Chain A
Amino acid sequence: MMLAMPSIDYTVHNSVFLVAHFHTMLNVVGFACLGGINFWFPKVFGFKLDEGLGKRAFWFFSAGTALVFGCMYVLGFMGMTRRLDYIPYVSWRPLLVGEEVGIFLFCVASYYLFKQLYVSVRDRAQNRVMSNDPWGTARSLEWLTHTPVPFYNFAVRPQINSRDEWAWRRQHGLDGARPDHYEDIHLPSNSVVPALLGAFAFAFGFGFVWRMYWLVAVSLAGMIAAIIAKSFHEDSGHTIPGAMVERLERGFRDVVSEVAPIGDLVGGWARFAGPREAPSGRVRRESGSGARVLAMRLVGRKREDTR
């Protein structure tokens, strides 16, 4: 948008000002990603990322941004063009050194990001999340269901009373509210077809890029065949009985510290993945043994390794 203005465009054309500008814009996306990862990590995995290390990464990242791009903007104004293989003016040197120091700060920031991940996974037992909303200030709907999210998402679909439903419930003391009864939940069965389509689509694009037209033909035929085959495979999903849902939900609520289906990266996933496996060719699966196994795991089993 800046460069749409001809006077600015002529002034900074092909200079490192331009490079600095669009990389700062990308950097904003980077900040948003880091924020999003820290915010939703517990929603996905059931434990928080280490806050101290996250803050440290943030400050190094911010300082690196300021130093690298601040210097680069100034250099652009001083007339430095991009893609130089030599430094024609000694006066640019201090600012270029400043950029290098900034890059060092970025490296420190990424060290702390990896360390944050490592430490958080290592100490996940201490960072486990015990309620829906580990932040206490979240506003939107995803925090209204359990953390991490069970395979059926919401046991009962919430009625929306406000734009920020979760914040509204918290304000009015309704955040502990539970449905008084549960009904059957109908879920679609797992299918290998989407993954297959992804693989074929990759081969399709690869074939076009490298002009391997036999691969294009094969993968296109594969995609079409997979979709048609799936349409003939009449599987209307399976149902989790309401009684089972109620037991699962009570497991979450009453004995959350003992059940702890959360806080374990692999184990947490495996437990939720339980009832979804083995879709079977049958049209309807009313109370599959998979769901029963899951209930035993969730309600009955205790964690020994929390200490």
Chain B
Amino acid sequence: MSQIADPDRAILWDPNHTEHDMIETRVLGFWLYLLSDAMIVAALFATYLVLDHRMNTAGGPTASMIVHPVAAFGVTVLLFSGMLAYGLAMAALKAGDRRRVLVWIAVAFILGLGFLVVEGHEFADLVQAGITPERSGFLSAFFTLVLYHGVHLMFGLLWLAVMAVQVWRQGLTAQVVYRLLNLKMFWFFQGFIWIFVFSFVYLTGTLHVH
């Protein structure tokens, strides 16, 4: 037991009990969501690192045959520009400039969309060449890991669009602001995950030929 209070002088009722900061509680809740998401991502990375070996390709392609780190670098620049754009939207939010918030959200949306279009083309090419998730254990892990990130970004785009409408229609109310802050965490988290995808899938994929 930590510290035993003096029962004669103890405060029994929280003097600040009516205060609850909506933004703080919502942001805390979103942190918990992100942590659980991070655990799934960690499991996917562990799976990928185990299956990224010639033994698990069942005669199909290895990572070095399907990843293009230079193309991936291009989309990385797109994605991180999208992160920067949202960061600038947050700076505009701090300044209370609704119009600039909208402009930077739009820029972030376009850059994120560009990332998804390029990635979509890449995967469409793979599928057309007969390289599908059910081909081998390695490809299952590859598709799951990279597309898990892609689907998250897709939901991020949807969220950006909804927030643009809400900022435009409702202004920077507490409800809108906490959602913008949560979206910030979500959006930057996808960039953070992409650093690892780029390093462990695209860079290491070309580095060693198993």
Contacts and interface: CB of A to CB of B under 8 A. Distances in A.
Interface of A: 154, 156-159, 161-163, 168-169, 172-174, 177, 179, 183-186, 224, 228, 231-232, 234, 236
- Assign chain B's interface to a size class: 20 to 34
Contacts of A231: 162, 166, 175, 179
Given A163-B1, A234-B170, A234-B175, A158 B12 contact: yes
Nearest to A171: B7
Nearest to A156: B13
B65 interface: no
A158 B13 contact: yes
B168 to A, nearest CB: 12
B166 to A, nearest CB: 7
Contacts of B170: 234
A231 B161 CA distance: 13
A173 to B, nearest CB: 8
A234 B171 CA distance: 13
Contacts, number: 56
Interface string B17-50: 1101000000000000000000000000000000
Contacts of A228: 162
SS class of chain A's interface: helix, strand, loop or mixed?
loop
Q: Report the 4 A-B pairs with minimum CB-CB distance, sorted nearest first.
A: A172-B7, A157-B17, A161-B5, A157-B14
A85 B162 CA distance: 61
Interface of B: 1-2, 4-5, 7, 10-15, 17-18, 20, 158, 162, 166, 170, 173, 175, 179
A239 to B, nearest CB: 10
A62 to B, nearest CB: 33
B110 to A, nearest CB: 21
Contact of A179 (B1, B7, B13, B158): B13
13 contacts: A154-B17, A157-B17, A158-B13, A161-B4, A161-B5, A161-B11, A161-B12, A163-B1, A173-B7, A174-B12, A179-B12, A179-B13, A185-B18
Contacts of A157: 13-14, 17
A158 B14 contact: yes
B14 A159 contact: yes
B11 A159 contact: yes
Contacts of A173: 7
A276 to B, nearest CB: 18
A180 to B, nearest CB: 8
B18 A184 contact: yes
Nearest to B158: A224
Contacts of A232: 166
Nearest to B15: A159
B149 to A, nearest CB: 19
Contacts of B1: 162-163
Contacts of A154: 17
Contact of B18 (A159, A186, A236): A186
Given A161-B5, A172-B7, A186 B13 contact: no
A232 B167 CA distance: 11
Nearest to B18: A183
A133 to B, nearest CB: 16
Contacts of B175: 231, 234, 236
Nearest to B173: A234
Given A174-B12, A231-B179, A162 B4 contact: yes
B152 to A, nearest CB: 14
B186 to A, nearest CB: 14
Given A156-B17, A158-B14, 12 more contacts: A161-B5, A161-B7, A161-B10, A161-B12, A162-B1, A162-B4, A162-B5, A174-B12, A228-B162, A231-B175, A234-B170, A236-B175
A290 B15 CA distance: 28
A179 B10 CA distance: 13
A186 B20 contact: yes
> Looking at A154, A184, A231, which has the most chain B CB atoms within 10 Å of its CB?
A231
Nearest to B6: A161
